A and B are shown apart, each in its own frame.
Chain A
């Protein structure tokens, strides 16, 4: 039985080396600009960093993918096309993209460059995925985090390209690539500038024993004393509606689908993705090591072990998300 491929995040060269050393099959990263969806201060890779990282990874038989997964701004295609050209020049193993125009550019200019469809494209049905395959030669699709495992199985039965699914980390519950919640509050877009809840617009303040988080001047959560905190994203904001404050979209929680490896394998999934390019190298080392151990155990036909990753998760809670969501 072929094992899953383990696709791991890196926000810095040190994090990439941590991921490689901990057992990644591939590491995904972004350039240091708005061409990727984790465009945060102090994060990401210069061109030279990518060159060095590709050398380090390839020497250890690990692949490197570059996420160029934001949407080019009208009249300003340059940075995105240059990112594609540089990724090809630097001999990365695949680029992860969402914009059809950019996919067309890459397919035409670099026919040997392997194309993956980013979760930012939100391609969640057979027709959409076939279109990307037929039009641009996309070889793998990263599925949005809104599908159940039976839906993934049904999808895989009808398409002939690989699927990759998120198994751990921050959980985006919206239609990715089309969410404008953060844009409304900050004027900056996750889809164009690569910044969901940009740090420049986030403030934390202590209110007695409570911790308040604000985004663009809007209070989006107040964590009581001792209550675990979450990211300052509007989709996980706690708002007053009706009887009192409540999580209207999603609670602060992290995805962890380690218990679903047998089901995901049966559903025909090829690759498992860990979220968290914005996280530190200690997170990456711990989570990648845990998943590598789980995958090796699973491949050997033994029950998937329970590995404690509680210390790493947002809001202090873990979920299998839409994969097993009963209400769906």
Chain B
């Protein structure tokens, strides 16, 4: 029989995960707004921090042949271009800016919903299963993608959200509290949201989508 305590916790955990996924996606959306130099510096700092925390995986990434992988969330305004090999680096690029074979672009592309890509990078989900279900699309150098996936999946307890938060100053201290309380708090917000009149509810959803970077800053004029 199902333990009655398990299901609500699992629901709360899933809700908290959705919250932090949305938060990190919004954070990613802000990177280009810092300007190229500051954005690159921030991502370089993140990469150094990840390399310190996961030396085995990052040593393996540096040992790979020089190549570029575009990690493209279909529901975020920004993609990440990762250069593996001795010149390991990470850059934010506009989503849809380039594909395999385009000038200056990637040798391989991994494309999917942001939450799934984050789960994959953190080893929470199996990449083959996502591929079978067509939630993940890959193109270009398959061996490169496989090597990257296997290297990152071989790492234990990768927590990219916490790692990203730790370079964002006060967020590092707030995140554990948010994680503990996000589930119940979001449950209450969701309950309150259901009581709102539909037009107001849709308006809030649009604002949320804009914050998450899934809507343009200016909504298209329906009369056009």
Residues of A with Cβ closer than 8 Å to B? 11-15, 17, 40-43, 198-200, 202-206, 211, 223, 226-231, 252, 278-283, 286, 311-316
Contacts and interface: CB of A to CB of B under 8 A. Distances in A.
B142 interface: yes
A14 B154 contact: yes
Contacts of A312: 126, 129
The CB with the most chain A CB atoms within 10 A, among B126, B138, B145, is that of B126
Given A15-B153, A15-B154, A42-B151, A211 B134 contact: yes
B129 A200 contact: no
Given A41-B147, A211-B137, A279 B128 contact: yes
Nearest to A214: B142
Secondary structure class of chain A's binding surface, majority of residues: mixed
B126 A279 contact: yes
Interface string B29-60: 00000000000000000000000000000001
A261 to B, nearest CB: 22
| Chain B interface residue number, banded | 20 to 34
Nearest to B122: A282
A202 B133 CA distance: 18
Contacts of B134: 211, 223, 226-229
A15 B137 CA distance: 24
Interface of B: 60, 123-129, 131-134, 137-140, 142-151, 153-156
B50 to A, nearest CB: 16
13 contacts: A12-B154, A41-B143, A43-B150, A199-B143, A199-B145, A223-B134, A229-B132, A229-B133, A231-B128, A279-B126, A311-B129, A311-B133, A314-B132
Given A41-B147, A202-B143, A311-B129, 10 more contacts: A41-B143, A199-B143, A200-B142, A203-B142, A228-B134, A229-B131, A230-B132, A283-B129, A314-B132, A316-B132
A230 B128 CA distance: 9
Secondary structure class of chain B's binding surface, majority of residues: helix
B150 A282 contact: no
Contact of B126 (A14, A231, A252, A283): A283
The CB with the most chain B CB atoms within 10 A, among A17, A43, A280, A312, is that of A280
B160 to A, nearest CB: 15
Contacts of B149: 42, 280
B138 A42 contact: no
Nearest to B120: A280
Contacts of B126: 279-280, 282-283, 286, 312
Contacts of A280: 123, 125-128, 149, 153
Given A14-B123, A226-B134, A283 B150 contact: no
Given A279-B126, A280-B126, A281-B153, A228 B132 contact: yes
A315 B142 CA distance: 19
A116 B123 CA distance: 31
Contacts of A231: 128
